[in-house]
Structures are given as structure tokens and as C-alpha cells.
Structure 1
Amino acid sequence: MKIRKNTLLIMMILLTVTFMFANTKNVSAKVTFNKTSKSITKGKNYTIKISGVKSKNIKKVKLKYNKKIIKVKKLRKNKYRITGKKKGKTTLKATVKYLLFDYTPAVKTIKCKINVKNKAAKKKKTNNKKNNDSEENIKPEIDWGENNIDKLIAQIEQSKTYKGTLYKLNDYTVFNKGEDGGEDQYGLITSPFYSTIDWYSKKDYDKIMNEVKRIVKESKITDDMIDEEKAYRIGRYMVKHIDYDYSVYGQRIYETLFDKKTVCAGYSVTYALICRYIGIDCDFVHTSGFYIDGQNMNHAWNYIKLGDYYYVVDLTDAYCGQKYDITGPFFRESGYVDSKQMSYIDEKYKTSDYTKDHKVDNISHYMRCKKNGDMSQTLTDSELYNLPE
């Protein structure tokens, strides 16, 4: 009887060890880069992730690669940005020390083959359209610069949107050619159906757009980032560099950018412009006729599109409530806006044409991604707050 009990005990121990080893092997085998090989262009960026293990369970990552061919920058414990430096091939090796599901330490070396190519030769543009010298068909030529975002915007087809000489240049600008020797005007789009357009001369327009480009660069935005991170970085930059000052008169984009102080409307129109510039649909939203005891209670904020829904971004609240730094939720649900304010929202945001295409989510963006089981398009509040500047 005693022998049988000892035999059973030994078998149970062996099964337990075997089970633990099997699980260790299985979990370890899942740890890998999200790509095992990748071709990138010299000077371009690519983000690579370590999958198969939670970021919080990663204790240390040691990288090995040819530094002459690529540059690697750590974004988070499980996320790295690769930049092509020189034409050639290298293998990015990562020795990952992490914890298994039972907190047992584990180590695995993972690899991704990187092939850096030179920039593709630029193709010469050809114009097969018939020449038409009529003034109403002339579309302005604009120097869009050299960065990737500029080139993407430049590809947007210039299409006439109104009668006469008013043209849509891109998703944030319309152009009005001056008549009878008058000055050309550039209008910045910040709200739906072009209902609010901020008009500027060519000189001021160029100055504004150069500042927008500088802000995007200062915010360290790259094409490979998810929209949520891009939009957060812009918002963070604005609340840290533009003061909320109720005494200011200027609430336009120009004054906001160059006086470095504004109120809710200035925050919202400027944020809408910069988001539209980097390719994210964003609207300036405001109330109208909202007074309590003769005091103006009107407010402005943004609706920004992330995925299939729009979300509330309120830079005034981010600034005033957090003293120059964002530490609260940023991409909020529809209920975040006070019901009293919503009753005074401008009529254009209540039309069926607007609401059918601008569905504001009833939960935050993070919760929507979590509900849909797709966390690749969102970051936790903590990850957003700790993004490198």
C-alpha cells in the first residue's frame, strides 16, 4: 500500500513538472516580433513590436543589429522604431527576458531580417489634359515641402467645390482667387461643410502652415504612429505651449499660434486645423447663445474621428484642469459634454447631414477598442501620459 502511494506521488510530481515544462515551452514559443522580415526605404521609419507577451511582463530586452544600416529607438518595452540609415541587410536580434503566466522567469531570442533599400527614383509627372487658358480653370500651385505628410496631402486631387474661382485645395484649405486685381485668399477649414472658414492672405497662410509643420515636427509625429498617438501629441503640445487667457481678444488660428494665448475657440479651431493637416478628421464644435444671468457661458471643443466613431477632445479642460500637463482621459465619450451645453450646441451640428456621418461614441475610445477586442489602435492613459517628448 505504501509503495503504491509513493508511486502515485512520484507520478503526480512527474506530471506536474511535465505540465509546467510544456507550458513554459508553449508560452516561450509565442514570443516573437510581429514581423520576421521587413523591407524599408532609407530614411523611412517602421515600428516593430514584440508580441506573445504582455508589456508589463517584459523585464529586459537586449538588442543586437548593424548600427551602420539601421537605427533603433525604444518607444516602449515592447515597441521599437526602426529607421533605415544605409542600403544593406541586417538582422535585428532581441534577447527578451520576461515572466511566464505563473511568473516563472524565461528568456528567448527573437529575430527580424531587415532589408534597407534606397529611395525609389522619382517619376516625372506628365500632363495629358488639354490646355485651357480660361482663368476659372486655373488651379494654384503650392510648394508643399519635402516631408511625407506634405507629399500625401499634395496627392489629394484639387477639385472645384463652388461656382466661380473657389477651389478646395485639400482637406483643410480652400482657395479664392482675387477678382479684378484683388488679393488671393486662403481659407482654413475647421468645421463641417466649410461653414466656418478662417481667411488669410498668401503671406499669412504660408506663415501659419510653416508653424503647423514646425509643431508637427516638434511633437515628433511619424507616419507609422496610430491616429490616437498623433492626436494626443498635438493636444499635449498645445496645452504646454499655448496659455489659456480669458482676457485675450484673438480667437483665430493666427493669434493662437503666434500670440501663444487664447480661449476655448482658439484652442479648438487650431487643433482642428493641425489634426486635419496630419490626415485626421477633426471638427471645431461650439455652442451659441448660451448665457446664464447675463454671463457668456458659450464653449468650444472638438469632435475627432478615431476608427468608426468621433470622440470629444476638450483642450480647455486639459489645460485649466491639469496645469499645463494632461493627466486625465483625453478622447472622451459624448456624455462628457454637459447636457446644458449640448442644448445650446450650434444648429449645424444637429442636422441629419452632420449626425449621420459624425456618430459620437457613447464610450471612450479606449473602452471602444477594448470592447471590440482590438487594442492595436489605442494606448492606456498611462502609456499616453508617458509618451516621450
Structure 2
Amino acid sequence: MKIRKNTLLIMMILLTVTFMFANTKNVSAKVTFNKTSKSITKGKNYTIKISGVKNRSIKKVKLKYNKKIIKVKKLRKNKYRITGKKKGKTTLKATVKYLLLDYTPAVKTIKCKIYVKNKAAKKKKTNNKKNNDSEENIKPEIDWEENNIDKLLVQIEQSKNYKGMIYKLNDYTVFNKGEDGGEDQYGLITSPFYSTIDWYSKKDYDEIINEVKLIVKESKITDDMIDEEKAYRVGRYMVNHIDYDYNVYGQRIYETLFDKKTVCAGYAKTYALICRYIGIDCDFVCSYDNQNKSGHAWNNVKLGDYYYVTDLTGAYFTRNIYGGVSNFFREYSNIGEENIKYMDKYYKMDEYTEKHQIDEVDYYTRCKNEGKVYLKQKELYNLPE
């Protein structure tokens, strides 16, 4: 009997090791750069990402490349900005140390071939008006795999008025260098569309980011939490500490954070910023009925493969009805017919809807039906503060 028990124990250990090895092999194979090769122009930037593993699971990344050809700046553990320095080619090699789903350590080396080319030669000016008009109307080539902010910056860079003053710092900031001794401006990205950016001085920007860091800390957010819990904790903190006030005129992020009162737009912009700061894709979305002079703002939050509707204004007014903060991670129809009808046109464009698919069912139902790990609404309500 004792021999049989020992034999059974050995078999179980062997099966466990075999499973872990197979799991490591399968998951490791998915870790890669989002591009296997990329051509960039000398002096221009390109953002490359490590896909197949979440940022919080990455423990260390070691890079190798020809420093004479390209410059590489770390933006996040899974994201790097590449700048072309000299015409030529090099291979960007990254040795990624990370954790599998069962917290088993894994290592994989991934590569991307980088080709740097010189700037295109300037065309000679001509007095032929027809030729000039046709040249001005040529649309710049855009890497459609980049988000809309990046596409906008490409257009700016290739326009004749571009002076190299504006560029993207990270997923939530665009920097505008002041001209002729003017003040530098920091724009907070709250959606993929440039028109919704709030611009601030360096002083105000630093104050905002420090406040964002404080909110993340006081929300007790940790790297090992799933995105659902992180996004919920941020929203819960906001509706518990920032009041809805009809008399508020300012709807910008600064006033929302420091006056501790706002309306729907202030909630949605600030929530989008904080989510983007902690690595969750989140957009400010708005609708406005010009005839009745009424509108609303909310957020599209990405969890898994889909985006979900989150309305902090609704959460504020219903926070004590259900024993917790609701109106999170809802289905598309939850926006409401009027808001859908008068939604800003940018959020109805194909280039937005194709990459921002809002789920037809709520996040909780999606996870339950597909057997994914998630927290039920009741579990969210009972999370300690």
C-alpha cells in the first residue's frame, strides 16, 4: 500500500512538471514584437510594443541593437520608442523575462528588423500651379496600426508648417514645445482624437500627475489585480471623493481633481486619464443635442477583447442604491438611444468603431459565458477601500 502511494505521488509530480513545461512552451511562443520588421525615416520615431504578455507580468527586458543606427527609449516595460539615427539596418533583440499565468518564470528572445532610410529628397519648386495644387493634396502615408494620436502627429510632421515642436510623450500626454521662448504645453490625452486634449503648463501638468499618482495609491491598486478591479477602484474613488455639481462651469481635468466637483465631462475626462496612466485603454466619449442644448459624457473602457460603457455620473447618483458603485462595464445599448443619436461623429467613424468594438453584452455576462476570470458585481461592491 505504501509503495502504491509513493508511486502515485511520483506520477502526480511528473504530470505537474510536464504540464508546466508544456504551458511554458505554448505561452512563450506567443510573446513577440507587434512588428517583425519596420522601416523608419532618419530622425523620425516609431513605437514598438511587446505583445502576448501583459505589462504587469514582465519582470525584465534586456535590449540589444546597433546604437549607431537607432536610438531606443523605454516608455513602459512593454513599449519602446525607436528613433532613426543613421541610414542602415539593425536587429532589435529583446530578451524578455516574465511570468506565465500560473506565475511560472519564463524567458523568450524576440526580434524585429529595423531599416533606417534617409529623408526623401525635396522636390524642386515649380511655377506650374496645377502641379503645386496636386502636390499639396497628396495625403501622407500613415501607419494605420498606430492609434489616432500617432496618425495625427504623422500628418503634422509631414505638413509644410511642421517645425518639430509636437510629439507624444506617452499614452496620456502630448508635448508641445513653446516657440520663441514661449511656454511649453502638456496635453492630456483623453481619447484618440486630438480635439479632446486638455492643454496645461508644466506646473499644472506636474500637479495633475502627482494627484493621479495619489489617487492610484489611495485606491490601493496593485500590479497583480486584473484590469476590471483596477478600473473599478479608480471609478469608485472618484465618485466617492468628487461631487457632481450642476453649477460647475469648468469641466477640465485640473478643476475636477482640485475643486473636487464637476459634471459628466469632468468625470469622463479625468477617468480616461487615470485609466490610461495605469495602462488601461479608456476613452472619453460625448454626445450633444444642439437643438435642446443638452448632452452627456461617459467612457469606453477596454477589458479583454471588447470595450464597455462606464458612466461615472450614473455611478455617482446610484452609488448607495445597490450597496455599491454601479454603471460600470455595460453593454453598448446602455448608452441610451438619445446619446447614440447625438454622439460625436468621430466615435461613429469606421476607423474608430473597427478598433473599438463595444460589446453587445455586459462584461460580467461575457466573462461568465466564456469561462473567464472576473469579479462579479457583488464582489466589486464588497472590495475593501
TM-score w.r.t. length of structure 2? 0.60
Q: Match of 1:214, as an amino acid?
A: L
Aligned to 2:5: none
- 1:198 partnered with 2:201: no
Q: Is the 8 A contact 2:324 2:382 kept in 1?
A: no
Give the aligned partner of residue 186 of structure 1.
Answer: 186
How much has 1:352 moved relative to structure 2?
Answer: 0.5
Counterpart position of 1:328:
326
Structure 1 residues 129 and 188, CA, compared in 2 at 3 Å: closer, same or farther? Answer: farther
1:285 counterpart SS class = strand
Letter in 1 for 2:274: I
> Match of 1:360?
358
Using a 3 Å threshold, how does the CA distance of structure 1 residues 130 and 182 change in structure 2: closer, same or farther?
farther
Q: Write out aligned runs for 1:303-322 (5 A).
A: 303-322=300-319
Deviations along 1:229-287, one digit per CA (max 9) or x if unpaired, are 00000000000000000101110000000000000000000000000000000000000
| Alignment correspondent of 1:40 | none
| Partners of 1:319 and 1:326 within 8 A in 2 | no
Q: Deviations over 1:29-88 (max 9, x none)?
A: 9xxxxxx99xxxxxxxxxxxxxxxxxxxxxxxxxxxxxxxxxxxxxxxxxxxxxxxxxxx
Asked if 1:337 is matched to 2:332, the reply is: no
Percent identity (aligned): 63
Establish whether residue 228 from structure 1 lines up as the match of residue 225 from structure 2. Answer: no
Write the distance in 2 (CA, Å) between the matches of 1:326 and 1:156.
39
What is the CA-CA distance between 1:289 and the residue it aligns to?
2.8
**2:320 maps to 1:381:** no
Q: Which residue pairs with 1:128 in the alignment?
A: 67
Distance 1:270 1:158 in 2: 29
Alpha-carbon distance between aligned partners in 1 of 2:375 and 2:223, rounded to the nearest angstrom: 17
Supply the RMSD in Å over aligned alpha carbons: 3.1
CA–CA distance in structure 1, aligned partners of residues 330 and 257 of structure 2: 25
Amino acid at match of 1:344: Y
**Cα distance change of structure 1 residues 386 and 371 upon mapping to structure 2, 3 Å threshold:** same
CA contact (8 A) 1:291 1:298 kept: no
Within-5 A mapping of 1:139-158: 152=77, 156-157=80-81
Q: Give the whole-Å Cα distance in 2 for the aligned partners of 1:168 and 1:189.
A: 10
1:323 is displaced (CA, Å) by 4.7
In structure 2, runs of 5+ residues without a counterpart are 1-11, 13-18, 21-58, 84-149, 158-163
CA deviation map 1:281-324 (0-9, x unaligned):
000000023544xxx32000000000010000000000012359
Aligned-partner residue type, residue 272 of structure 1: A
Cα distance, 1:130 vs structure 2:
7.4
Q: Distance in 2 between matches of 1:130 and 1:359?
A: 38
Offset of 1:388 from its aligned partner?
Answer: 1.1
- Tell me how far apart the structure 2 counterparts of residues 323 and 220 of structure 1 sit (CA, whole Å): 21
Q: 1:1-389 maps to which residues of 2 (within 5 A)?
A: 128-129=67-68, 152=77, 156-157=80-81, 161=153, 162-163=156-157, 164-292=164-292, 296-323=293-320, 326-374=324-372, 376=373, 378-389=374-385
2:284 partner SS: strand
Secondary structure of the 2:307 match is strand
Q: Distance in 1 between matches of 2:362 and 2:231?
A: 15
Give the counterpart letter for 2:286 in structure 1. H
TM-superposed deviation, 1:195: 3.1
Which is worse superposed, 186-195 or 303-312?
Answer: 186-195
Partners of 2:177 and 2:184 within 8 A in 1: yes
**Aligned counterparts of 2:235 and 2:66: Cα–Cα separation in 1:** 40
CA distance in 2, matches of 1:247, 1:323: 23
The question of whether the paired residues in 2 share the 8 Å contact of 1:158 and 1:170 is answered with no
Alpha-carbon distance in structure 2 between the residues aligned to 1:182 and 1:131:
31
Distance 2:211 2:80 in 1: 21
Count of aligned pairs: 254
Distance 1:126 1:371, change over 3 A: closer
Rounded to whole Å, the distance in 2 between the matches of 1:127 and 1:214 is: 39
1:41 — aligned with what?
Answer: none
- The 1:220/1:126 distance shift into structure 2, 3 A limit, reads farther
For the 8 Å contact 1:156–1:170, the answer to whether it is kept is no
Bigger Cα Rg:
1
